[in-house]
Amino acid sequence: MSMLARTAARARLRDSEFARDVIAGLSAMPKWLWAKYFYDDHGSELFEQITALPEYYPTRTELGILEDRAAEIARFIPPGAALIEFGSGSTVKARIVLRAAAVAAYVPVDISAGFLNSEAAQLRRDLPHLRILPVAADFTAPFALPAAISSRARVGFFPGSTIGNFEPSQAVEFLRHAARLLGVGAHFIIGIDLVKDERVLEAAYNDAAGVTAAFNLNLLRRINRELGADFDLERFRHKALYNRAQHRIEMHLESRVAQNVAVCDRMIAFAAGETIHTESSYKYTVESFQALAAQAGWSPAAVWTDAKGYFSLHALTLR
């Protein structure tokens, strides 16, 4: 690519939604960034590593529920339906459902196109009878479903307690967005992390191997690469803590020193100890999540939890 072409490409990126969101967040007080931007291809790979860490209980606990209750969950998926997974990432959890239910089509939706297509290609090899229709999109915003499933019943699948990354009002809006896509009478299978001992929660987001720290810091690396910023990653550190009043884990990137960082031709000042709030992960009780879902028109149909009460899977029905 020529120097002129590279300059033009960078100019387009600086005009992008990503650039606008980064500037808006870093110009705010306190500073923040959208968690959805963690998931470039490398960020997606790091997150998959996080799910296998000994401290990170959500993935293995949810997988256990899915494996133990697969037949019960499959009863909420009509034969010949399309299973639509929001923020699909790895297909490990979807595979359990796809093997238990008579699904005709699987529609994984994810913002990371490279990771999405890689997972879809592997799934096609493993389940050749299944029609797989990946959609590269921000699942929190309006997107078009494939025309091939227009006549099929639709069931939503949203594991991992990713909805906990939304502020409660945003979670309600997402559930309304999903309702519009899935339609009246649809079912939605959704994973919710439960309120528990904060020592368990804080350990899950501060792993000894430092993978979560690398995942958090990769957001700055992405801003450097795509927007031409000059973040020095050695001058920031990962910080995660439990906000008891809000029932949420907060992830931050803390500036180790007073510094200025150039982002999209702007200079962003950081005081020593100042943080960028990069993610919240809300924890719910079964009842508080069902009350939240009801605001968007969803009724509880079933709920499954593990023996420790760490995690829950909910089947919802759209009224």
Query: CA-to-CA distance for 26 and 118, rounded, in angstroms?
Result: 33
Query: CA-to-CA distance for 163 and 245, rounded, in angstroms?
Result: 19
Query: CA-to-CA distance for 290 and 314, rounded, in angstroms?
Result: 9
- pLDDT category at 10 given cuts 50, 70, 90 is low
The pLDDT of residue 311 is 98
Mean pLDDT of 111-135: 95
Nearest Cα to Cα of residue 160 among 57, 67, 241, 247: 57
CB contact set of 311 (below 8 Å; sequence gap of 6+): 57, 58, 61, 62, 65, 161, 191, 192, 193, 194, 305
Q: What is the tens place of the pLDDT at every residue in 182-193?
A: 999 999 999 999
Mean pLDDT of 226-246: 97
116-119 CB contacts, 8 Å cutoff, 24+ apart: 116/88, 119/88, 119/89, 119/90, 119/91
- CB-based contact 179:293 (threshold 8 Å): no
Answer whether residue 11 shows pLDDT above 70. Answer: no
Answer whether residue 2 shows pLDDT above 90. Answer: no
Mean pLDDT of 268-287: 98
Mean pLDDT of 127-154: 95
What ranges do the domains of the chain cover?
3-32+200-282, 57-196+284-318
- CB-based contact 316:190 (threshold 8 Å): yes
A 10 A CB-CB count for 147 gives: 8
The pLDDT of residue 251 is 98
Query: CA-to-CA distance for 77 and 97, rounded, in angstroms?
Result: 9
Query: CA-to-CA distance for 315 and 187, rounded, in angstroms?
Result: 7
Mean pLDDT of 51-68: 97
Determine the longest span between alpha carbons in the chain, in angstroms.
60
- pLDDT category at 15 given cuts 50, 70, 90 is confident
Q: What is the mean pLDDT of the chain?
A: 95
- CB-based contact 224:48 (threshold 8 Å): no
Bond into 30 cis (ω within 30): yes
The pLDDT of residue 5 is 46
Instruction: Assess if CATH 3.40.50.150 describes domain 57-196+284-318.
Output: yes
Residue 244 φ/ψ, nearest 5 degrees:
-65, -40
The pLDDT of residue 76 is 97
The pLDDT of residue 296 is 98
Nearest Cα to Cα of residue 132 among 80, 83, 181: 83
What tokens were used for 5?
Answer: 């072409």
- pLDDT category at 135 given cuts 50, 70, 90 is very high
Q: How far from each other are the two terminal CA atoms of the chain, in whole angstroms?
A: 53
Nearest Cα to Cα of residue 217 among 250, 252, 266, 171: 252
Mean pLDDT of 285-290: 98
- CB-based contact 244:251 (threshold 8 Å): no
Mean pLDDT of 45-60: 96
Over pLDDT 70: what percentage of the chain? 96
